[in-house]
Amino acid sequence: MALLRRRRELSTLRTEESRTRCRLTIITVCCAVVVLTTLIVGLYYTVKVINTKFFYCSGSLRFVAIEKVCDGKADCPDGEDELVCVSKLRINGTFPVRLVGDRLVLQVFINDGGWKTVCADNWKTKHTRLTCQQLGFTLSPRSTRIPLKSVLIPSLLNAFGIVSTESNNTDIQSFITASEKCVSGSVVSLSCSDCGETAGLDRIVGGVNTEIVQWPWQVSLQWNQQHMCGGALLSTLWIISAAHCFTGRTRERLWSVVMGQTELGNVKGVTVDTIVVHKDYSRLSNDFDVAMVKLTWPVKLKESILPVCLPPYQLSVKDMLVVTGWGLLKENGQMPSILQKALVPLIDKSECSKTSVYGPAITPRMLCAGFIEGNVDACQGDSGGPLVYLSSRWQLMGVVSWGVGCAREGKPGVYTDVTQLLNWIYTVMEMNT
């Protein structure tokens, strides 16, 4: 009996020792995990702080003060610190392709001949595809024929261009020659992408909550993962926004684009490859307040991520426009977590240019929208976002630019007039595709 009792005591002792070792192992592993996690988190925030203070020259393994990056001088031996910066572009020529009016009638610019409305004579599918590629689009190129008698803009019927030659060039104007007649009696209407369509029905100050599927082109431009400005998706590669969003934030690698989200949470954005700001942009006058952002890779389109249409020339606006964004709900107020929308009317330029409103501050590259009595307006955080109009499809009429305060009486919102900068927009997309 004594021997049996001794064996039991030894067994119990071994069990206790085993449990103690197990507990010690668990405690050791937990401590190791905590220490490792602390080190990783600490390293992450250390790197983040360093990135805000210094630029790492990977070619020479040295650091450069952040103030010296994008200052026009190469501080890294290979100039690496000047290769990650916002670029500027001014164009002096005429982009040779444009769409005109509600029917999207195609015109081509012929040197020494001016603008010619493209007749449907000899027009083929390859010409449609080539023209859309020249406009910077590759998605769903298609064209239709419009009878001359249904064209309501007389200036489109003054001079024609027809396909009369074959060419190995990649520009449509090399196929077109001037003609006094259009034998087929029809002109070409062009559509280059599945844009301006939404899956939804049809805070901004005075706005209401909305959903991204109703405005699937709306994006958030984020600097260091913080929302700074809005933007609008134009194609699978290109975003349009405001030039002033990038003032003082010229390092492309710190920008990202979040899309397809109604609420801005902790969502990882698409990285940015190139940012192009209009070279004539002025911080003093806010003139030419437009920028183009190229994504690192094409985005996959879906119900909540779709491009908006660029407007044609001479589009007649008859109804309300819509502005969307995550900007402040009131002047000096809070930023909403949910996307906001507001309906605003277009204000005649002569009204907006009155001394009591904005006077000579309104340039030909600007338009005004909102209410003279105030109450509804874009605000801080909405900058760069889209002002859209529903014609046959949703079309981008303006980019949120500036204003005095938010929703103040007599001070409506001022937007970059997209129709006045189509030449620049198309040129940027063509040059960088």
Please report, in tens digits, the pLDDT of each residue of the chain (433 residues total).
555 555 555 556 566 666 777 777 778 777 777 778 777 766 655 555 555 567 777 767 678 776 666 766 777 876 666 666 788 888 888 899 999 998 999 999 998 789 999 999 999 999 999 999 999 887 789 999 999 999 989 889 989 999 988 888 889 999 999 998 999 999 999 998 889 887 654 445 556 788 999 999 999 999 988 899 999 999 999 999 999 999 888 777 789 999 999 998 888 899 999 999 999 999 999 999 999 999 999 999 999 999 999 999 988 888 889 999 988 766 666 777 789 999 999 999 999 999 999 999 999 999 999 988 766 656 766 899 999 999 889 999 999 999 887 768 778 899 999 999 999 999 999 887 6
pLDDT score for 182: 94
Q: Residue 131: what pLDDT?
A: 94
Predicted pLDDT at 122 = 94
| Type of residue found at 199 | A
Amino acid 251: pLDDT? 76
Q: How far apart are CA 7 and CA 15, in angstroms?
A: 12
Q: CATH for 97-191?
A: 3.10.250.10
Q: Which regions of the chain carry the CATH code 3.10.250.10?
A: 97-191
Instruction: Determine which one of 244, 304, 377, 382 is catalytic.
Output: 244
- pLDDT the model gives residue 314: 86
Output the CATH code of domain 208-432: 2.40.10.10
What tokens does 40 get? 């990783």
Task: Give the three-state DSSP class for 208.
Answer: strand
112 labelled catalytic: no
* pLDDT score at 203: 43
| H helical segments located in 54-168 | 125-134
Q: Return residue ranges of the chain for CATH 4.10.400.
A: 33-83
Cα dihedral across residues 162, 168, 170, 171: positive or negative: negative
Q: Which CATH number fits domain 33-83: 4.10.400, 3.40.50, 2.20.25, 1.10.260?
A: 4.10.400
146 three-class SS: strand
Is residue 102 annotated as a catalytic residue, yes or no?
A: no
* Active site annotation includes 280: no
Catalytic residue among 287, 289, 382, 417: 289
* 170 burial via Cβ count (<10 Å: 0-12, 13-18, 19+): exposed
pLDDT at 202: 40
Q: What is the pLDDT of residue 201?
A: 42
Among candidate residues 191, 241, 383, 401, the one labeled active-site is 383
Quick check: helix, strand or coil at residue 407? Answer: coil
CATH 2.40.10.10 domain extents, the chain: 208-432
- The whole-number pLDDT of residue 80 equals 66
Nearest to 94 by CA among 432, 433, 430: 430
